[in-house]
A and B are shown apart, each in its own frame.
Chain A
Amino acid sequence: MTTALKAQGLGKKYGRRWALTDCTLDVPAGRVVGLVGPNGAGKSTLLNLAVGMLTPTAGQIEMLGNPAGTTQQNKIGFVAQDTPTYARLSIADHLKLGARLNPGWDDSLAQARIQQLGLDLKQRAGKLSGGQRAQLALTLGVAKRPELLILDEPVAALDPLARREFLQDLMEAVTEHELSVILSSHLVSDVERSCDYLVVLVDSRVQVSGDIDTLLATHYRLVGPRREEKSMPQNQHVVSVSHTDRQSTYLIRTDEPVLDPAWTVSQLTLEDIVLAYMGRSTSAPQNNRPLLEVQR
């Protein structure tokens, strides 16, 4: 098993609006994948397609080598957006639910996690805080012992502290059980903290995807005397550019070192890279959406 998620020309249309278009992706297994994009970019659509909650309008999507949503529900765990739980059922009931509905259920793991979180088994899920509910949903996802765990904005509703704890917890579970993870977020910092692979989705299109270390190592900011885009070398792929009267700032991707002495070359942070790709999309002529809430 080498791919966790493989999409070919994947598209999903709601009514007359495409929520996801021409998505081609090949995400390797064994990674913690961050799916980043502004709200409404199509992240949830992509993840729902991945777990078979939705069926594609166009293209195909394969999970762990099989078409999504067909078999192997036991191999993929899904923590849906807003981490839904049954408000009237207790935590113990939720664990029982997991045990009844999943052949591979790891009850000792589930019990241990709940204990570690300091939660009362008799408490109703409706009375839990947002963070605790997310933890319960994560427990259900992990104790199912899937090969791949998909989380749709699991931390969106959490405060910064709970967010950090949740992600830390997730990472512990990942290393302990050798899970592949796909995690979506509209915040780069979440991804930076926990993921090693990045997919940027803006306006229902995949802008860039790849290993985070590779992305960091192949993207540069070049600052130098004003220069037109046309005159840039072939092997330097321009992500974004801005000019003043005398100066140009380029953000480029290249596999080779930048040798031109006219440039002042600097490294980029992950956030710089993501923002550059998002900005590129929003400045494209076919769309006039305002820049989204990435800076929050």
Chain B
Amino acid sequence: MIWLTWRQFRLQALMVGAAVAVLAVFLAVTGPGLSDDYDRYAGEFLKQIALERINGYLYVVGQVLVYAAPPVIGAFWGAPLIARELEAGTHRLVWNQSITRTRWLVAKLAITGVGAMAVTGLLSLAVTWWADPIDDAIGTGQASGVFNVPRLLPPVFGARGVVPIGYAAFAFALGVAVGLVVRRTVVAIAITLAAVIAVEVLSPLLLRPHLMTPVETTIVVTTENMRGFMLSGPEDTAEVTQIEAKLPGEGFWKLSEQTVNSAGQAPKTLPQWLAKCGPPPPNVAPDPSRPTLANCFQRLADEGYRQKITYHPANRFWDLQWREAGIFLLLAAGLTGFCFWRIRRDLT
């Protein structure tokens, strides 16, 4: 059965394996250099490596490939695994040899599934290792060019560590299960591709923030930490709708921010006088009586307004990684269980 599984799987395995190997070679060649540069340039590291285009390309390509691996594996390894047999009727050939369907499925799932996780794991490991100095530098507040997203933030988080392995296992099991249900290879590939991409997009929005209780903090907004000041409405009656401040430190993942009053509630509108604090409209003579931003923030603080921020601190990276990977591995196990249950039912 091992032989047969490999015989049927080797083409797909070689294609994905080759793509991963090519990237791995590039990363292996350039990785040690990056790590040397990190030591040499210290605070100027990102600025220096951004000068060489290859670094930016590899950074982005690695990221994209780690995200692409689960949908591709789910769609092209998982979906056809059973669907193609059902479609061609060959399950009636192979299930009537001297082994049970369960053993047949065990071999198929184990070999291909472990392959899926191993390939994605290697890819993620290579990319995580290569990008480690960069992630490190971003974590200390450096930023340059494409290198500006801390690893805890959604665009990077899913392309590092163990989360891709969880995605790959889930995508593979989903592909197999979908193929078993719809029994059409092409349809199963399409559904799996769409579903896994949707999961990759939605997981950071709907799942990841809730994996741990976010830290809640309140800070006073000042001219130094102010990052946004949003006005809306016509000039005379403009209202301030939103103020954004930056937390001290680097590398955290901010989930929400509200301006709350002294009672701790978020008012519908901020005080009217705040509108005058924004920069004066163009082609209007400077008004000496207009308050400065610093005065405004002082008054805001005095009236008891604070910025209430929830976030995940940077040191939660691995906790969140393991939790998310674990959840997707559990989902994969559930889907696998479904496949074993379904395969024992009537399928002609």
Contacts and interface: CB of A to CB of B under 8 A. Distances in A.
B237 interface: no
Given A84-B89, A100-B3, A53 B97 contact: no
Nearest to A78: B96
B229 interface: no
A84 B99 contact: no
A53 B4 contact: no
A291 B98 CA distance: 40
B98 A101 contact: yes
B346 A55 contact: yes
A64 to B, nearest CB: 14
A89 B90 CA distance: 11
Nearest to A93: B7
A84 B93 contact: yes
Given A93-B7, A101-B1, A85 B93 contact: yes
Interface string B1-18: 101100110000000000
Nearest to A14: B346
Interface string B82-111: 000000111011111111100000000000
Given A48-B348, A89-B7, A93-B7, A84 B92 contact: yes
Contacts of A44: 348
A51 interface: yes
Given A85-B90, A93-B7, A101 B95 contact: no
B92 to A, nearest CB: 4
Nearest to A44: B348
A55 B93 CA distance: 18
B347 interface: yes
Contacts of B3: 96-97, 100
B95 A53 contact: yes
A214 to B, nearest CB: 31
Interface in A4-46: 44
A283 interface: no
B348 A73 contact: no
Sorting the interface of chain B by its residue count into under 10, 10 to 19, 20 to 34 or 35 or more gives: 20 to 34
Interface string B318-332: 000000000000000
A56 B89 CA distance: 21
A172 B247 CA distance: 86
B8 A77 contact: no
A123 to B, nearest CB: 16
Nearest to B347: A53
A48 B95 CA distance: 12
A73 B100 contact: yes
Interface in A45-78: 48, 51, 53-55, 73-74, 76-78
A84 B7 contact: no
B180 to A, nearest CB: 15
A55 B343 CA distance: 12
Given A84-B92, A86-B93, A100-B4, A74 B98 contact: yes
A269 B118 CA distance: 66
A149 to B, nearest CB: 11
Contacts of A78: 92, 96
Contacts of B8: 86, 88-89
B94 A101 contact: yes
A137 interface: yes
A98 B97 contact: yes
A54 B348 contact: yes
Contact of B99 (A81, A101, A137): A101
A3 interface: no
Contact of B93 (A76, A80, A96): A80
A55 B347 CA distance: 10
A282 interface: no
A186 interface: no
Contact of B346 (A51, A53, A137): A53
A257 interface: no
A87 B94 CA distance: 13
A77 B4 CA distance: 19
Given A89-B7, A100-B3, A100-B4, A73 B96 contact: yes
Nearest to A86: B90
B4 A84 contact: no
B93 A140 contact: yes
B346 A144 contact: no
Contacts of B348: 44, 48, 53-54
A101 B97 contact: yes
A20 B96 CA distance: 22
A103 interface: yes
A104 B89 contact: no
A16 B97 CA distance: 31
A103 B103 CA distance: 15
Nearest to B97: A101
Given A53-B96, A73-B100, A101-B4, 19 more contacts: A53-B95, A54-B348, A76-B96, A80-B92, A80-B96, A84-B92, A84-B93, A86-B90, A89-B7, A96-B3, A97-B3, A97-B7, A97-B97, A101-B1, A101-B99, A102-B97, A103-B98, A140-B93, A144-B97
Interface of A: 44, 48, 51, 53-55, 73-74, 76-78, 80-82, 84-89, 93, 96-98, 100-104, 137, 140, 144
13 contacts: A54-B348, A73-B99, A80-B92, A81-B89, A84-B92, A85-B90, A86-B93, A96-B3, A97-B3, A100-B1, A101-B98, A102-B98, A137-B93
